[in-house]
Amino acid sequence: MNLKNEKSPSNLLWIYFLVSIGVALQVGAANWDIIWHGIVNVESFFTPPHSVLYFGVGLSLVSTIAGIIWSLRRKIYPVGPFSTYRKIPTPLKLIVFGCLIEVVSGLFDNWWHANFGFDGLLSPPHLMLISGMTLSIIGALIGTHLHKTHKRFQIISEMICYGILWMILINFVFMFTLPFSKGQYFDFNPSPTAALMLGLMLPAAFTAIIFYSVQNLSFPFRMTVVAATLITIQSLATIISNIYFAGILSLYLLNILIPLSLDIVSIYTKNNNKLFRKFSNADHKRIVLSIIISLFFITFYFPWSVNMFKSFFEIDLITFESVTIFEHLVWKFIIPILVPVSVVSAYIGILVWKKLYEYPKLTNMFKVVVG
């Protein structure tokens, strides 16, 4: 089915927005859950972070059901087999699939806790959950992108979806890099070398791809809104949810100056190309700005970002000592090694993404996400 010809009805824009809020609650609660277990050290399925997480699942699920009911009541009459199924917009079908995975993962997680006690960050039910979140937010992003009325709300909603997708993608990387996956019966902790390699390559690449795509939106401060979405979730879930990081909130909020500065540069160079000849090519500018913002993932995703590398460097400190971990790494690893490698990883990520976009057999679904 060609998604570009499948216009999103007005009512569905609110459905997609509510789904994105539900997914934001889930990914935020997942981050809070790590903090919670570090402080309380009690393993149970029924915890405050889990309550918020599955409230988010419920919000996404109820919103999706409402969207399906509304879609089926539309006065359109597709022909051919499965005509009722075809009345449901493709993005909504993707969200349905994601929500079903999320619900099953919750039941699976409850069973896992009952049979295997406490688990770590990487476990089969947690992997199912984040996979469902990924499908749901991609569906919401595509559905929002296809919406052509209420333009301002549509663009803001799309930028929020990009911010949530960015956070989920990086959290996917964290599942395979953070040394938090030793459970009561299973030890899924990654090898320090594997964590180092993945941490060097993937966060910068995913960040660059997200912001390369975002710059196609017709909104002057698009990078700022996307980053603000991430900063808001991370601040609430990880920074102020405990006494250990609450004191660095003002410092963490300074991250917003990075995308704000890049947006200002983008706006200024658009109107003053004679002064910035290197930015006369719009695509080159998108690439350069995307690479620049990708270099700061270490501060955007603090404290998790620095914990990816502590095992390799044999830094025996806990998560709540992440400021000290950062101080250990900044001069011997982050600046001399991580930053240069991130430039290369980000550039390669964008090139691969552009090549995939041009690949004729790639489905229209992913072409829409790229813009």
What distance in Å separates the CA atoms of residue 125 and residue 109, rounded to the nearest whole number?
A: 5
Alpha helices, DSSP H, located in 147-281: 151-175, 192-214, 222-234, 249-253, 257-271
**What is the number of alpha carbons within 13 Å of residue 300 lying toward its C-beta?**
25
The per-residue pLDDT for 231 is 97
Nearest partner of 191 among 183, 181, 201, 200, judged by Cα: 181
Cα atoms in the 13 Å half-sphere on the side-chain side of 92: 27
Provide the pLDDT for residue 368: 45
Residue 285 has which token pair?
Answer: 């500018």
Closest residue by Cα to residue 203 from 242, 230, 229: 230
Tell me the C-alpha to C-alpha distance, in Å, between residue 204 and each of 96, 166, 207, 291, 339.
30, 11, 5, 8, 9
The pLDDT value given to residue 222: 96
Closest-CA residue to 223 (of 142, 300, 279, 143): 300
Which residue type, as a one-letter code, is found at position 337?
Answer: I
Please state the pTM of the whole predicted model: 0.90
The per-residue pLDDT for 146 is 85
| DSSP H helical ranges for the chain | 10-40, 48-72, 83-86, 90-116, 124-146, 151-175, 192-214, 222-234, 249-253, 257-271, 282-294, 297-300, 304-307, 322-329, 339-358, 364-370
Which amino acid, residue 250? S
- Separation between Cα atoms, residue 66 and residue 231, nearest integer Å: 30
Per-residue pLDDT, 43: 56
Helix/strand/coil (H, E, C) string of 138-180?
A: HHHHHHHHHCCCCHHHHHHHHHHHHHHHHHHHHHHHHHCCCCC
Q: Where are the domains of the chain?
A: 3-370
H or E element that contains 320: none
**How much is the pLDDT for 44?**
57
Alpha carbon distances (Å) from 93 to 86, 140, 169, 361? 10, 10, 21, 21
Within 10 angstroms of residue 310's Cβ, the number of other Cβ atoms is: 22
Cα 324 from Cα 329, distance rounded (Å): 9
Q: By C-alpha distance, which of 306, 303, 334, 345 is closest to 320?
A: 303
pLDDT of residue 276: 54
Task: Report the C-alpha gap between 72 and 77 in whole angstroms.
Answer: 10
What is the residue-level pLDDT of the chain in tens, covering all 371 positions?
A: 344 444 455 678 999 999 999 999 999 999 998 888 777 655 555 678 888 998 999 999 999 999 988 888 765 555 455 556 667 888 899 999 999 999 999 889 888 888 887 778 888 999 999 999 999 999 999 999 988 777 889 999 999 999 999 999 999 999 999 998 887 788 899 999 999 999 999 999 999 999 999 999 989 999 999 999 999 999 999 999 899 999 999 999 999 999 999 999 998 887 666 555 555 577 888 999 999 999 999 999 999 999 999 999 999 999 999 999 999 999 999 999 999 999 999 999 999 998 887 765 555 544 444 34
Count of residues for the chain? 371
Output the pLDDT for position 4.
44
Which pLDDT value is given to residue 283?
86
